[in-house]
Structure 1
Amino acid sequence: MKITSSSDSRLPLYQRLSDEWLAKIASGEWQPGEAIPTEAELTQHYGVAVGTVRKAIDCLVNDGLLERNQGRGTFVRRPQFDASFFRFFRQLPATGEQGIPESHILSNRITAPSATVRHALELDADEKVVHLKRLRTIRNGRRFYEDIWLPAKAFHRLAELQPDEFDPLLYPFYEAQCGQIIASAQETLSISTAHDEVAERLQLAEGTPTVRVERIARGYNRKPLEYRIAQGPTEGFRYQIDIN
């Protein structure tokens, strides 16, 4: 079976196989949570050595797109969404106890992006975005104010909803409403200061130090689907990350 991926033919065979399977995941042909064909089936289908198939699978496992389940097979990995304050980042109070966060969408509209947002989402000059403003609260205390930008072509449906129609966890909501699945994200943590709307929403004095989290979230095809900037007070802030 000929590899139909558009990847460079000069690439190693296992990489071209990996790229082809990535395309199947991105297109939905291989669904999140479902098993992919067995190594024996893939070997026979593509007419390649089993070692080549395993190496191609390893690439996608290492990228977090597939996961092996001993005795059951290899599955398209579905990101898990729990009650932590962020899916990829957590904020904990000084006691270390976790609470259930509440989310309040303040506004949702289609607008023209700034140059920074356009660059982060890799948009063409004439493309627009859905801009969400959201306040995250926990135990009745204000924690993070978020600006979230999404490509309007894929997420225009969100601009048609009422703010109270949004779910607290946005990533499953994106999938349910727009068919867009977040597969990974990269975050940059820095220290900033609260001004204008951020200060007002967080009820902080102008110039109060804040934690600033900048996130770019991507789909299975590695294209940006979300650009987010979140800010919250540094007081009582504790950063925790699990390293596996």
Structure 2
Amino acid sequence: MELSKCGHDERLPLYQQVRDEIFKNIQCGVWLPDVAIPTEAELTKHYGVAIGTIRKAVDTLVADGVLYRSQGRGTFVRRPDFSSSLFRFFRQVSLDGKVSIPTGNILSRTLVLPPEHIAKSLKIKPNEITIRLERNRVLDNSVVLTEEIWLPESLFASLSDIELTSFGNLLYPFYEKQCGLLVASATETLSIESAMPETASVLGIDEGRPVAVIERVAYSYDKTPLEYRISRGPAETFRYQVNIS
């Protein structure tokens, strides 16, 4: 792929125009996660601007968490890390007393029309097919979290006939490997509900007990919704922490 050149609103500061074009190259997959982008000198030559403009544009993307600098190696596209984000909220302790991240088991995969609110969150039409996954998170042979996941079939068609055991523990790297889709950001909504019979049975708790619910919409770099996920776990293991300064 060739690098795009500045073509944004010229009323924007020049560094912002360059910043947007660098970001566009990341969105389009010209520069991949954990791969170095061109040097400041190379970017200066390509965009025909002063090195100070390039430096400010790159600084903005570093501050936004899109890029990171490695001393003596260059500037790289940051790979978002969601591997333990859910467990900011659910603290799971194994039998030996260690804080652990449960493993994930895909139980089922179906092609379904999504509920209206999920179709809206995924920005698809209600009559568009989604791949629905059911997954449990297991620790010491006990289910500690249950999850429902919806994926637009138009984007994830290659997952329709893959063995369920092939999905692995971390889904986002799997999406990238199998479908070429990189999750770059997500929004999460937290709530509490009473455990319905099926959820209570899976989690091994009494019906009606409080359950913490995390609804997540995951996005690509260009903010295309890729995944809608609902995770449920016993409220007794739920912890919320925020630092205020």
Task: Give the TM-score of the pair, scaled to structure 1.
Answer: 0.86
SS in 1 for 2:223: coil
Contact 1:111-1:129 within 8 A present in 2 as well: yes
Alignment match, 1:77: 78
| Whole-angstrom distance in 2 between the partners of 1:187 and 1:73 | 33
| Whole-angstrom distance in 2 between the partners of 1:10 and 1:4 | 16
1:91 paired to 2:90? yes
Contact 1:88-1:185 within 8 A present in 2 as well: no
SS in 2 for 1:164: helix
| Whole-angstrom distance in 1 between the partners of 2:43 and 2:184 | 24
- Aligned alpha-carbon RMSD (Å): 2.6
- Which amino acid in structure 2 is aligned with residue 14 of structure 1? Y
| Whole-angstrom distance in 2 between the partners of 1:153 and 1:62 | 34
Q: Deviations over 1:116-161 (max 9, x none)?
A: 1112112245432211111111122321111111121111222212
Alignment match, 2:54: 53
| Whole-angstrom distance in 1 between the partners of 2:196 and 2:229 | 17
| Whole-angstrom distance in 2 between the partners of 1:125 and 1:134 | 23
In structure 2, the CA distance between the partners of 1:218 and 1:197, relative to structure 1 (3 Å rule), is: same
Q: CA deviation at 1:50?
A: 2.0
| Whole-angstrom distance in 1 between the partners of 2:151 and 2:234 | 25
Q: Deviations over 1:25-51 (max 9, x none)?
A: 122111111111111211121111222
SS in 1 for 2:172: helix
- Which amino acid in structure 2 is aligned with residue 21 of structure 1? I
In structure 2, the CA distance between the partners of 1:152 and 1:5, relative to structure 1 (3 Å rule), is: farther
Contact 2:39-2:74 within 8 A present in 1 as well: yes
| Whole-angstrom distance in 2 between the partners of 1:26 and 1:177 | 18
SS in 1 for 2:42: helix
Alignment match, 1:156: 157
Contact 2:213-2:233 within 8 A present in 1 as well: yes
Alignment match, 2:130: 129
Aligned length: 240
| Whole-angstrom distance in 2 between the partners of 1:110 and 1:49 | 52
Contact 1:102-1:136 within 8 A present in 2 as well: yes
Q: CA deviation at 1:9?
A: 4.0
Q: How does 1:13-52 map to 2 (within 5 A)?
A: 13-52=14-53
Contact 1:112-1:129 within 8 A present in 2 as well: yes
Contact 1:93-1:238 within 8 A present in 2 as well: no
Alignment match, 1:225: 226
Q: Deviations over 1:153-176 (max 9, x none)?
A: 111222212322220111111111
- Unpaired runs of 5+ in structure 2? none
In structure 2, the CA distance between the partners of 1:81 and 1:117, relative to structure 1 (3 Å rule), is: closer
Instruction: Point out the more displaced range, 26-35 or 195-204.
Output: 195-204
| Whole-angstrom distance in 1 between the partners of 2:167 and 2:50 | 48
Task: Give the TM-score of the pair, scaled to structure 2.
Answer: 0.86
1:208 paired to 2:209? yes
Q: How does 1:132-147 map to 2 (within 5 A)?
A: 132-147=133-148
